[in-house]
Amino acid sequence: MSVSTAASVQTVCAPLPVLGRDVTVPLVTGGEVTYAALDYAASAPALQRVWDDVAAYAPYYGSVHRGAGYLSQLSTDLFENARRTVAEFLDCRADDQLVFTRSTTDSLNLLAAALPDGCQVFVFETEHHAGLLPWKDARVTYLDAPRTPGQAVETLERALADRAVSVEGGHGPALVCVTGASNVTGELWPVRELAAAAHAHGARIVLDAAQLAPHHPVSVRDLDVDWVAFSGHKLYAPFGSGVLAGRADWLKAADPYLAGGGASRRVTRREDGGVDVEWHESAARHEAGSPNVIGAYSIASACKALTEAGFDTLVAREQHLIDRVRAGLAEVPQVKVLSLFGDDAPRVGVISFVVEGWNSSHFAAALSAEYGIGVRDGLFCAHPLVRTLLGSAPQAQGECGAPEAAPGEKSLNAIRVSFGAGTPDEHVDRFVTAVRELVTEGAKWTYRTEEGRCVPAV
């Protein structure tokens, strides 16, 4: 990016207003500083627009569905309009079904519960645990970490071609689960090509868009995925909500994810004392109980805000921040940035690294306590991937905080910095400066281990 382009991005693309942008935090060295929230990959701060929309609706909150009162009808309309807004944001097909869930993890567990009998699941070891672990009742084929996007497609094609033939003489149902953007490296995965490979072999594919949707447009049609899952708390929307959207047939054929009110259309007693249940075939089938209307509304509000801001603008500004961080880290020889696909791979604002001579927990604690910068350290709920990336990385035990290491073992954990639409330039500049100073000058404070975490000694 040229200097003039970078300046234009700075001028035209101001960060979107988020909650907490003016919060100050104390430093162990004295004084206070505006908090630099650089842990967007875990939970992004809520957009001010989302909070304002929710606050405006809150006095009108009422029970959703079946209520005769005005507030109940208003809340029901808002809830169902939110469903349409999110479906439009995802560019869903006309006959797709969109279910509101609690998170990406909840969405993928719902889909796992809806798999047809005999379904075989294919998943790369590089997935977040949300995509790696829900498939316990299916036959699962775990695929090794690829080192290029092309290798990812080739690995999947070979695995699908080699899958077992069923006793009926054909291939049974199959599902591929893949991330859109890694929560560890930020690298974009070749989703469209993986979807084409899956469909060519009679398999379906679900996209974990938790890290993709906040940074890039996600089109179910264009990517040709069968389902997409994401979380509101990654998309600048609070309140513990998520989405699973896509093909309706497996969802309609499956027993309800949760049994209870809202999922049932008709319940009658039998003469033998039991009950017969007729379940809904709409999204309500998997939305038992009183729905999280505020959570659904907050996701819809975030979708509108990102759409109105324009993803072209958001992507350009984020790339400016990515370039700024990567250039700064490249100037510190002791820093090793983690990557599967190489330095030139396109990515979102998620960067993980290790620092020679530092335990990652110690480094992250110093960033927080001495500079007011919030990052993440550890294995990021992607243990197989991080262990693969760090298998041969030189990393000292450090003076404190090795939560993943047994006594005498090398600590395998990393530091992750992540940012997005609400991140000002000052936050990433402060981060780069802090990394350089900690590496060259060392920590200004003493730290100790407390319950596996590195914390300032007091």
Other CB atoms within a 10 A radius of the CB of residue 288 amount to 18
pLDDT in tens, 197-219: 999 999 999 999 999 999 999 99
* CA atoms in the 13 A half-sphere facing the CB of 291: 29
Say if residue 1's pLDDT is above 60: no
Instruction: List, in sequence order, every residue forming a beta bridge with 269; answer none if it has no partner.
Output: 275
13-43 tens-digit pLDDT: 689 999 999 999 999 999 999 999 999 999 9
Active site residues: 381
Q: Is the pLDDT of residue 408 over 60?
A: no
* Site of tokens 């984020």: 318
189 has a pLDDT exceeding 70: yes
Is the pLDDT assigned to residue 225 strictly greater than 80? yes
Q: What is the DSSP letter of 187?
A: B
| Residue 89 half-sphere exposure toward CB, CA atoms < 13 A | 30
Instruction: Report the alpha-carbon angle 81-86-87, nearest 5.
Output: 95
pLDDT tens, residue by residue, 285-305: 998 889 999 999 999 999 999
Whether the pTM exceeds 0.85: the reply is yes
Residue 164's pLDDT is what? 60
Structure tokens at 154: 């080739």
Average pLDDT over residues 224-233: 98
